[in-house]
Amino acid sequence: MAVAGDTDLDIQAGPLGSGPPARGGRSGRSGWLRGPGLRRKIELTLLLGPALLLFAGFALLPIVLAAYDGMYKWTGFGPLGSFAGLYNYRLVLDDPVFRQAFGHNLIIVAASILIQLPLGLGMALLLNRRIWGRAALRTLVFAPFVLPYATTAVMWLLLLQPGGFVDQVLKLTGLAGLTQLWLANLHLVIYTMIVVLTWQFFGFAMLLMLAGLQGIPGELLEAAALDGASAWRTTWRITIPLLGPTIRIWLFLSIVGSLQVFDQVWIMTEGGPANASSTMATYLVQRGFQSSEFGYGSAVAVIMFGICFIFALVYQRFVLRRDTAGALTRAVG
């Protein structure tokens, strides 16, 4: 696992054998790898330039501009309005509607962890052996994840219409008493959203866990069995701990995803009724875009970014530190 956990590792790895060899004069490589000067610089510029330009121009610049725009009272196009400093940011953070939306994001985060993690893990454990139809099931359960969220949102919107498919199924199974206004009930709507989101993302959790399980060497489990450990004990003491890196990566992706939920909510309820299903992203579109309060909207965008970023750094610092799960974890923080 993480040998040194820092970027120096890359450079030192060469002499140890398997890693990419250090490329300096030392390795005695011929000409073009260390060729001094101009030609190399030109090559590097040509190779890196376009990607950097695109990335800086369309990913980094917007956030910088948004941070700047957020300091102005700017409604509509044309010149920025009057300078307001951090006023917009304060206003957003003090707005009960934004706080409510953020609260909904947190509910979605919690629900994904409490529902998808145990179910995904459990299902992956059950499926991690030769079973008839396993590949088909895996494909099937993963399918919702690759469908455009907008199309599944329209699907659920129609399924959940009063008197629609879901209600009819309940009636057929003698559970008509459970029928609800799934998308219009103030107290229920956020949980309806959670069901929809779980349907869409469960397969991803399961697939990731299955992939992680396949990376666990069978010898370990056989050894445990030889030592007389029960299957239950082996699962808890060996399999799940070894799955740690996978679980932590899934948690990370799931939380960042939950913090920016938009499509499903927007299409099914636009965050309503009465903001009962709003999220930060629907708030952003409603307040920043639809009412053309671009300064205010920019502040919301920056805050959303800040929340994701701070979360990622904290998570990296305290949770992912020991993993070498991909470059993301090695590189950030």
Contacts with other proteins in 63-122 (CB under 8 A)? Answer: 63, 65-66, 69, 77
Stretch that binds other proteins, among 81-89, 96-104, 105-113, 223-231 (CB under 8 A): 223-231
Among 221, 272, 273, 319, binds other proteins (CB under 8 A): 221
Amino acid at 214: Q
- Residue placing its CB nearer to other proteins in the complex, 190 or 299: 299
271 binds other proteins (CB under 8 A): no
Alpha helices, DSSP H, located in the chain: 8-16, 38-55, 61-69, 87-94, 96-111, 117-127, 134-146, 149-159, 165-172, 189-214, 218-226, 231-234, 240-242, 244-259, 263-268, 280-283, 294-315, 326-331
163 binds other proteins (CB under 8 A): yes
Among 4, 42, 151, 186, binds other proteins (CB under 8 A): 151
Q: Cβ–Cβ contacts within 10 Å for residue 11, how many?
A: 12
Among 246, 254, 277, 286, binds other proteins (CB under 8 A): 246
CB burial string 157-175: b at 16+ within 10 A, e below = bebbeeeeebbeeeeeeee
15 binds other proteins (CB under 8 A): no
Among 105, 111, 245, 254, binds other proteins (CB under 8 A): 245
Among 16, 42, 47, 114, binds other proteins (CB under 8 A): 47
Among 75, 179, 185, 235, binds other proteins (CB under 8 A): 235
Stretch that binds other proteins, among 81-89, 96-104, 109-117, 138-146 (CB under 8 A): 138-146
Distance of closest approach, residue 128 Cβ to other proteins, in angstroms:
4
Amino acid at 119: L
Give the phi and the psi of residue 8 in degrees, each rounded to 5. -55, -30
Among 115, 155, 181, 184, binds other proteins (CB under 8 A): 155
- Please give the full DSSP string across 107-129, using - where no structure is assigned: HHHHHIIIIIHHHHHHHHHHHSS
Distance of closest approach, residue 35 Cβ to other proteins, in angstroms:
9
Q: Single out the residue of 275, 271, 286, 291 nearest to residue 96, CA to CA.
A: 275
Helix 165-172 crosses helix 149-159 at what angle (to 10 degrees)? 50
Contacts with other proteins in 284-313 (CB under 8 A)? Answer: 284-285, 288-289, 294, 297-298, 300-301, 304-305, 308-309, 312
Q: Is 125 within 8 Å of 239 (Cβ atoms)? A: yes
Among 259, 271, 276, 277, binds other proteins (CB under 8 A): 259
